[in-house]
Amino acid sequence: MKVRDFNRYMHFPLEEWAANILDMNHHTATGPDLYFDQDGEKCCIETKWSLVPTVKVESNYPECWTVDEDQLAYPKTWGKGYWGFGVYSLDRAVEDIDFEDKDSLDDFVTHRELWLVRWNWINMYPPSITASGPTYRYPKLKDIPNTQHTHESTNGKIHVTSYVPDKYFFPSQDVDCVPF
């Protein structure tokens, strides 16, 4: 599969996994990827994912993400906002995945981790204006805040970082909480 095509489809199963674990709705239209609205309390998570190799080797896989500056406005409409920055690995190279397998991409995931980060954390990165017009920010894995605890679940881990309240997440899931 061409990398451009792969990127167009891969985020769906990753977001769906996170929505199921966090007991949130998966939003597939314009706006944040995950949300809930219960009893007048609203919360959203915008997720960003980066493919990383299974074994750490010199590679072209960045441990960073691209955030569109327009996404910073989501909490104005969607309630309390958080970022979900994730990494994942596959059991094969993207080029070895057939386009016909696009509905089975989750089957190829061997590892995934997602860090929940408070919304204003992104402000430590200056906006970068591109020649074509859009403005982006580039947060990095090495700068993620300290993990308060980790929730281990089927096929991955979700790390809750400093200043992210647990009350919004895992309300009905029976997951193991591993202090970090």
The pLDDT score that the predictor gives to residue 178 is: 40
Average pLDDT across the chain, whole number: 87
* Pairing status of strand 109-118 against strand 156-161: parallel
Percent of the chain with pLDDT over 70: 89
In tens, the pLDDT along 20-43 reads 999 899 999 999 999 988 888 899
Give, in degrees to the nearest 5, the angle at Cα 29 between 1 and 96: 10
In tens, the pLDDT along 42-87 reads 999 999 999 987 655 445 556 789 999 999 999 999 999 999 999 9
